[in-house]
Structure 1
Amino acid sequence: MGICSSCESSSVVTAKLIFDDGRLQEFSYPVKVSYVLQKNPTCFICNSDEMDFDDVVSAVSDDEVLQLGQLYFALPLSRLKRRLKAEEMAALAVKASLALTKSGGDKCRCRPENICVFR
Structure 2
Amino acid sequence: MGVCASYPGANEIKGGGEDHNGVRWPSTAKVIHMDGRVEELKAPIPARNIISQNPNHFLCSSEAMSMNNCMPQMPGEEELQLGQIYFLLPLSHAHKLLALKDMCSLAIKANSAFGN
Which amino acid in the other structure matches residue 11 of structure 1? G
AA aligned opposite 1:77: L
Identity of aligned residues (%): 36
Aligned partner of 1:11 in structure 2 is: 15
Cα displacement (A) at 1:99 = 2.8
TM-score by length of 1: 0.74
Task: Give the greater-gyration-radius structure (CA).
Answer: 1
2:88 maps to 1:74: yes
Does 2:48 align with 1:55?
no
RMSD over aligned Cα, in angstroms? 1.7
2:20 is matched with none
1:24 aligns to what? 38
Any gaps of 5 or more consecutive residues in structure 1? 1-6, 107-119
Per the TM alignment, residue 9 of structure 1 is displaced from its structure 2 partner at its CA by 4.8
Ranges in structure 2 where 5+ consecutive residues have no aligned partner = 1-10, 17-26
AA at the equivalent of 1:95: K
CA–CA distance in 1 between the matches of 2:76 and 2:29? 16
Offset at residue 71 of structure 1 (A): 0.6
3-state secondary structure, aligned to 2:114: helix
Note the C-alpha offset of 1:8.
Answer: 5.9
Q: Does 1:93 align with 2:107?
A: yes
* Higher relative contact order (CA closer than 8 Å, sequence separation 6+): 1
The answer (yes or no) to whether the contact 1:24–1:100 under 8 Å persists in 2 is: no
Deviation of 1:82 (Å): 1.4
